[in-house]
Amino acid sequence: TNNDSRVIRAELLSFDADPGEGDKPAEGSMRHYADGALWLENGRIKAIDDYATMAPRLPEGIETVDHRGKLVMPGFIDSHVHYVQLEIMASYGRQLLDWLNEYTFPEECSFAQRERADVISNAFLDEMLRVGTTTAQVFCSSHPTSVEAFFSACCERDLRMLAGKVLMDRNAPEALCDDTYGGIRDTELLISDWHGTARLGYSLTPRFAPTSTREQLDATGGLLRNDESLWLQTHLSENPGELDWVAELFPESRDYLEVYEQSGLVGPRSTFAHGIHLDQDMRTRLADRGANLAFCPSSNMFLGSGLFDRLAARDVGLNITYASDVGGGTDLSGLATLKAAYQVGQLRGQPLTAWQGLYGLTLGNAKALSLNGKIGRFAPGMEADFVVIDPDGSPLLARRHARCTTLGERLFALMMLGDDRSILETWTSGCCQHRR
Ligand code: GUN
Ligand code: ZN
């Protein structure tokens, strides 16, 4: 039950705005309490302040969880991940299209079975909580049962999650392909059963242009037009072989993005994973619609897709989110995603500050997904999803930590060296759901 009130005493860090690209966070973009108090009530944040300031206002006898020496931040958000690919992470040596055919599609066939979908949903959520991720936008398989299993498992843990059934009606094994409008009807049923239930939201999920007919993409656009509260997730311009294939399949479109535009799929709640091979005109069109690109650095390096141009997106005001893209990605951890993003940035002359990275994992991702009214920062009324970070999570981390003198140094070392050992506890709706 989360019907009670308690206080977390710890070092607290939360962003209120984009900290910018500078070595120091922009004025007013961040709140930091060296000895802070986070007051939780009924699964939400009631107040946040210095402990010494809050202590006299607290009710007599309120439970205080003493996490002094730990760093508490809003729960991490993963804007693009495939739960059904958990067990094919690190399958050797292919680029996108071969990897899909050899590993991914055969694996996704097994999610026709409800028991398998239940087991992997729970294993996936266990792993997410172990790495401090409390919200994600998730691809299921094309089987409605894979979505029911996932949403049920999320409900049991009171998690805020977005997910959807993959839509595919061509160029995939028959066992995974929808009847064009049958897939749409299945989607409508899932929306009516799950969208807005508990903390769940439905994300329309056409896999990518090559595996849907124009008719199926158009029908998906119809669903999005009819209900502005739905999300949409797909893939865009990840790999050169994919680009050639899209040009062949959609000769009526002048570029890959136009395939999606023509079907009405590009809007403020649309997430396009990857977007490696784009020109500035495509980035501007995405920005004008308020869509976001999911930067998936560990996946882009694993599948040899290319180096995401973060600052080119930023230049035109295009929202970027951070994502693991497991099973193309090699790590579920948001900290590992930031480490990979830093490395990609270095190869492009665009290093990522810890301020920008940790803002991205929390409020940045929440804003781009239109969830910032509920999660992503610490403020009264926000849902109490947070992570308790142990800066001394391993002997080496403790050594490195002992040498840091500033908050900036500590956060950067955490971003580059941190992993599941750095996550002491993960809380959702004011309850501890994972303890290391
Ligand atoms: N493009 C289409 N499907 C997929 C997928 O499952 N993973 C990745 N990384 N790219 C895709
Ligand atoms: Zn993906």
Distance CA 356, CA 342 (A): 10
The amino acid occupying position 127 is E
Q: Does 393 lie in the same domain as 296?
A: no
- For residues 251 and 109, membership in a common domain is answered with yes
- Structural domain count of the chain: 2
Residue 99: HSE in the Cβ half-sphere, 13 Å Cα cutoff: 24
**Number of alpha carbons in the 13 Å side-chain half-sphere of residue 100:** 17
For residue 373, CA distances in Å to 72, 358, 366 come to: 20, 18, 8
Q: What is the pTM of this model?
A: 0.98
Range of the structural domain that residue 146 is part of: 76-368
Whether residues 140 and 39 share a domain: the answer is no
Closest residue to atom 7 of ligand 1, CA basis: 328
Q: How far is the CA of 328 from the centre of ligand 2 (A)?
A: 7
Residue where a domain terminates, one of 349, 368, 387: 368
Nearest ligand to the C-alpha atom of residue 323: 2
Are the C-beta atoms of 135 and 385 separated by less than 8 Å? yes
Give start and end residues of each alpha helix (H) in 274-423: 280-288, 297-302, 310-315, 334-348, 354-359, 365-368, 395-403, 407-417
- Residue 419 CA to ligand 1 center (angstroms) comes to 25
Q: State in Å: Cα 162 to ligand 2 middle.
A: 14
Which of 334, 349, 368 finishes a domain?
368
Same-domain pairing of 232 and 243: yes
Residue nearest to atom 11 of ligand 1 (CA): 235
- Ligand 2 centroid vs 208 CA: distance in angstroms? 9
Ligand nearest to the CA of 233: 2
- Pairwise CA distance, residues 185 & 207, whole Å: 16
Q: Directed axis angle between helix 114-130 and helix 144-156, to 10°?
A: 40
For residues 59 and 90, membership in a common domain is answered with no
Strand order in the sheet with 5-15: 44-50, 30-41, 5-15, 63-74, 386-389, 423-428, 431-435
| Two structure tokens written together for 1 | 């039950």
406-426 pLDDT per residue, tens: 999 999 999 999 999 999 999
How close is the Cα of 207 to the center of ligand 2, in Å? 8
Atom of ligand 1 nearest to the CA of 327: 7
Main-chain phi, psi angles of 428, to 5 degrees:
-130, 140
- Clarify whether residues 99 and 227 are in a common domain: yes
Whole-angstrom distance, CA of residue 297 vs CA of residue 102: 22
Which positions ≥6 away from 175 have C-beta within 8 Å?
A: 109, 112
Domain match, 395 and 307 both: no
418 and 322 within one domain: no
356 and 425 belong to one structural domain: no
391 phi and psi angles, rounded to 5 deg: -70, -10
| Residues facing residue 389 across a β-bridge | 71, 423
- Could you tell me which of 98, 75, 99, 73 has the C-alpha nearest to residue 326? 99
Phi first, then psi: give them for residue 227, nearest 5 degrees. Answer: -145, 100
What is the atom index within ligand 1 of the atom nearest the CA of 299? 9
52 and 85 co-located in one domain: no
Domain end (from 336, 351, 368): 368
- 339 alpha carbon to ligand 1 midpoint, in Å? 21
Chunked into runs of 10 residues, the chain (436 residues) has average pLDDT values of 82 98 97 98 98 96 97 98 98 94 97 98 98 98 98 97 98 97 98 98 98 98 98 98 98 98 98 98 98 98 97 98 98 98 98 98 98 98 98 96 97 97 97 96
What CATH number corresponds to the domain at position 420?
Answer: 2.30.40.10
> What does DSSP assign to residue 26?
P
Identify whether the C-beta of residue 245 lies closer than 8 Å to the C-beta of residue 276.
no
Ligand approaching nearest to the C-alpha of 302: 1
Pocket (CB within 6 angstroms of ligand 1): 82, 96, 100, 104, 207-208, 235, 238, 299, 325, 328
Of residues 325, 322, 327, 324, the one with CA closest to residue 310: 322
pLDDT attached to residue 364 = 98
The 10s digit of each residue's pLDDT in 46-83 is 999 999 999 999 999 999 999 999 999 999 999 999 99
Q: Kindly report the CATH number assigned to the domain that includes residue 146.
A: 3.20.20.140
pLDDT tens digits along 177-218: 999 999 999 999 999 999 999 999 999 999 999 999 999 999
Q: Are residues 205 and 338 in the same domain?
A: yes
Q: How far apart are CA 382 and CA 47, in angstroms?
A: 10
Instruction: Identify whether residues 268 and 321 lie together within a single domain.
Output: yes
Distance CA 332, CA 296 (A): 11
Mutate to test the pocket of ligand 1, among 212, 235, 298, 325 (most ligand atoms within 8 A of CB): 235
The interface pTM score, or ipTM, of the predicted complex is: 0.99
